[in-house]
Copies of this chain bind each other. A is one copy, B any other.
Amino acid sequence: MALITLTTDFGLSDPFVGIMKGVIAARAPGVPIIDVTHGVLPQQVLAGALVLQAAVPYFPPGTIHLAVVDPGVGGPRRPLCIETARGFLVGPDNGLLSLAAGDDTVRRIVHLTDERVFLAPRSHTFHGRDVFAPVAAALATGIPAAALGTEVSAFDRLSIPVVDVTERLLHGQVIYVDHFGNLATNVRLEHLRPWPGRRLTITVGGTRVDGLSATYGAVAAGEPLALVNSWGLLEIAVRDGSARATTGAQPGTPVVVEVGE
């Protein structure tokens, strides 16, 4: 059975997401729709790409992932469907789909050009409703991606900022702040593997944390800690509190990891 997921920066206070679901329900009746999130910060393409990359592996093969964080809607950026070994990624060609696609075997990249599938008239401001929802519904009813446009050879790639490693110092940054105020960084478990058993000291926004914890409960309430989070990223948190509030950090804030002797 087909399954569609939605990831946007539309929020839930307006009817935009509901309207997209109406379009899907009208064109692909009975197909289940799951919200990944609609709380991506407005127009933050990197945050949307990270969210999609984190979510896709947990869905069944063949799932159709529709994503819209699209500051260039109505402009020259192409609407895209990337077919991978895992399923389909549908959205604007602005890097949003690239981290999820990059984790996987890409089978086909389709520039969505078949206007017969789109809603008519098509607005310049709401392609989630007029372009991407109809395309997701078409895929869900079994229309092949290749039939929805022109195959192209590449898509816009977005890269996570690189971690700078010099001697025993790693210079990274905060790349995602969650609802609890936890600070996820671009420092991955793999970056830390060369130094097994060494003491790490993590500094972000004036807050210094000694060592990695296994759980949020490993320190006293109100104390900061660092751990490798559920996405495999180094994260700074505050037990029963908010590391965002404590450190003032936000996406882009530098993080330094010092490897002990």
List residues of A whose CB falls within 8 A of some B CB: 1, 3, 5, 7, 10-19, 21-23, 25-26, 29-30, 32-40, 42-43, 51-52, 54-55, 58-60, 63, 71-75, 123-126, 129-130, 178-180, 214-217, 227, 229-230, 239-240
Contact = CB atoms under 8 A, between A and B. Distances in A.
A54 B19 contact: yes
Given A18-B55, A71-B239, A124-B214, 15 more contacts: A3-B25, A12-B38, A13-B179, A15-B36, A16-B178, A18-B37, A22-B36, A22-B63, A25-B63, A26-B60, A33-B34, A58-B129, A125-B216, A125-B230, A130-B230
Contact of A42 (B7, B22, B179): B179
Copy total for this chain: 3
Given A11-B39, A124-B227, A179-B14, A29 B1 contact: yes
Contacts of A51: 14-15
Contacts of A22: 5, 34, 36, 55, 58-60, 63
Contacts of A230: 123, 125-126, 129-130
A14 B230 CA distance: 13
Contacts of A217: 71-75
A32 B179 CA distance: 26
B35 A240 contact: no
A32 B180 CA distance: 27
A26 B71 contact: no
Nearest to A56: B22
A125 B184 CA distance: 13
Contact of A179 (B10, B36, B55): B10
Contact of A54 (B15, B55, B74): B15
19 contacts: A5-B22, A7-B18, A10-B179, A12-B12, A13-B37, A14-B39, A15-B36, A15-B37, A15-B51, A17-B35, A17-B37, A18-B37, A19-B55, A23-B58, A25-B32, A25-B60, A26-B58, A33-B34, A125-B229
